[in-house]
Structure 1
Amino acid sequence: MTALAARTGRIAPLTGLWNTGWATRAALVILLGVAILAVAGPALAPQDPLAQNPAAALQEPSLTHLLGTDYLGRDVLSRLFAGAPASLLSAVSAALIGLVLGAVPGALSVFVPRAAEWLSLRAVDALLALPFILFAIVFAALLGNGLVQATLAIGILVAPGFFRIARAATLRVRDSQYIDAAGYLGASAWWILSRHVWRHVAPTLVVASVSALGGALLAVASLTFLGIGVQPPAPTWGGMLSSDLGYLGQRPWGPVAPALAIILTVGALNLVADAARDGLAHV
């Protein structure tokens, strides 16, 4: 098998997801809608998401307000659309930060001296032991309570997972003959990674990134639920869920929209990640 055929065989499971079943197709359609909201959510909002109308507070769903109104009379559908970019793009950013901070050191750790390898593994174990919420709160207290700080905190805590995945994938190809030959010829660790290792590790990291994106979205929603990151009145899915729970008695349908948006998005990401992972397992 040629190198091109090998690369095509590795990537095919990632590009042929549409043919893996109806559940994956539904997940891809959901993610397409979510991507549109992430880019154009505020423009698609039918009303001003910040406009308050106390006289229309806590209204049930109607033709004027398809998902009802919140405790300040703001249109819930408009806030759901307008809150999508902050919730989704921060999750994407956190996953990318974790990928960069984790995957590169994880792959390099296979080729460094034993002492450096041991130190890197202990550092990863220490990060994995950190309580997520406590770390995010301390991080926000030190660097400021903003979306950038919250995103960075999530990215740091996502990185150890990428470290382990990249390290395990690199270990599987480290003892290949062509890598041994490159080492005997004096090639550096970075040269070996860039020329020989990344093409084998990349599909696994893509699948891990999709899965991590779902976890990052849950983390973002958790932090905004607690008031860390985006501050009111700016809408976020986690912030909407937090405020709606305070009026559960008067408006029991209130938390449904933001909770369903989070659940559907995370579920779709997990379905796509599982389908891609199953495809890679048969390559």
Structure 2
Amino acid sequence: MRRVLAGRVGVVSVAVLAVIALLAAFGPLLAPHDPLLQDPRAILAGPSAQHWLGTDNLGRDVLSRLLAGSTLSLVAGVEAVAVGLVLGVVPALLSVHLGRVVEWVSLRVMETFVTLPFLVFAVAMTALLGNGLQQAMLAVGILIAPGFYRVTRAAALPVATAQYVEAAVLAGASPWTVLRRHVWPKVVPAVAVSTASLLGASLVIVSSLTFLGIGITPPTPTWGGMLATDLQYLYQRPFGPFVPAALIVATVGACNGLADALRDGPSRRPARRKVVADVAAST
């Protein structure tokens, strides 16, 4: 963690994600108004002392809806990543250690997931299981699982053929022990980078689905849904789409920045040692 925070990008990314997480955790408590309360006397009103960010087309407080939508949007993205993590990492680890049959089956399943058309599959899942955010996130998790699978498998294959792993197997260690003690610690950094990166991608997908009205039922507030509504009244409130769009961009950018910091973190200390060694050699 120190190496991640050693760079400016890592510090800014962690700070932004911490603020977004606080909004998601305490947003409903901080909301000045009920996000579903309608005020016919203040439809499409501008910013004021009572409504800091104005009101929407039904007179609902925009700030309160943004705070409530932060919880739903972020939780939905985390749910999708959790599903993808389980469906991608577990089969990848098993395919490395349980023989060719498991490897062949898991590869064919992941190739099938890759070929699924995103929007059609998401609509089909919500039509089959119901138009709910959890159902939509299950579809998103299935679609991002191949990303976790490829990264985990690529990181686990060199470790599985290492001499110390073969020695552990010859010493009688079970496959579970080998995975837990030798393989998993080597795979965690790659999985962490993929988790941060795919969390940003999941938030984009969540915002896209809710923008289209998939996975939510009105009047539930989400960033994507609020952006879609604000674009319909752009003439009356030209600044309306800015805040939900800025939240989406900031969160996704912070996730990508954290992924870059996690990826570049392990290389900082060796590079610094090399510079010190070069300076010492030159003197």
TM-score by length of 1: 0.90
Secondary structure of the residue aligned to 1:67 is coil
Cα displacement (A) at 1:55: 2.0
Tell me the residue number matched to 2:59: 73
The percentage of counterpart residues that share the same residue type is 54
Tell me the residue number matched to 2:142: 156
Match of 2:245 among 246, 259, 262: 259
Q: Which runs of 5+ in 2 are unaligned?
A: 271-283
Secondary structure of the residue aligned to 1:252 is coil
Whole-angstrom CA distance in 2 between matches of 1:246 and 1:175: 58
Secondary structure of the residue aligned to 1:59 is coil
The equivalences for 1:221-260 within 5 A come to 221-260=207-246
Whole-angstrom CA distance in 2 between matches of 1:36 and 1:77: 15
Tell me the residue number matched to 2:78: 92
- In terms of Rg, which structure is larger? 2
Tell me the residue number matched to 2:131: 145
Secondary structure of the residue aligned to 1:16 is helix
Q: Which runs of 5+ in 1 are unaligned?
A: 1-13
Is residue 28 of structure 2 the alignment partner of residue 42 of structure 1?
yes
Cα displacement (A) at 1:54: 2.2
Secondary structure of the residue aligned to 2:65 is helix
Cα displacement (A) at 1:108: 1.6
Match of 2:201 among 215, 228, 245: 215
The equivalences for 1:27-66 within 5 A come to 27-66=13-52
Cα displacement (A) at 1:223: 1.2
Cα displacement (A) at 1:110: 1.4
Is residue 20 of structure 2 the alignment partner of residue 20 of structure 1?
no
Secondary structure of the residue aligned to 2:97 is coil
Match of 2:179 among 193, 203, 207: 193
Tell me the residue number matched to 1:206: 192
**Contact 2:192–2:262 (CA<8 Å) still a contact in 1?**
no
Secondary structure of the residue aligned to 1:50 is coil
Amino acid at match of 2:113: L
Tell me the residue number matched to 1:274: 260
Amino acid at match of 2:114: L
Whole-angstrom CA distance in 2 between matches of 1:120 and 1:183: 23
How big is each residue's C-alpha offset from its partner over 1:29-75, in whole Å with a ceiling of 9 and x where there is no partner? 11111011111111011111111112211122233222111111111
Cα displacement (A) at 1:170: 0.1
Amino acid at match of 1:104: V
Whole-angstrom CA distance in 1 between matches of 2:117 and 2:245: 24
Secondary structure of the residue aligned to 1:110 is helix
Amino acid at match of 1:218: V
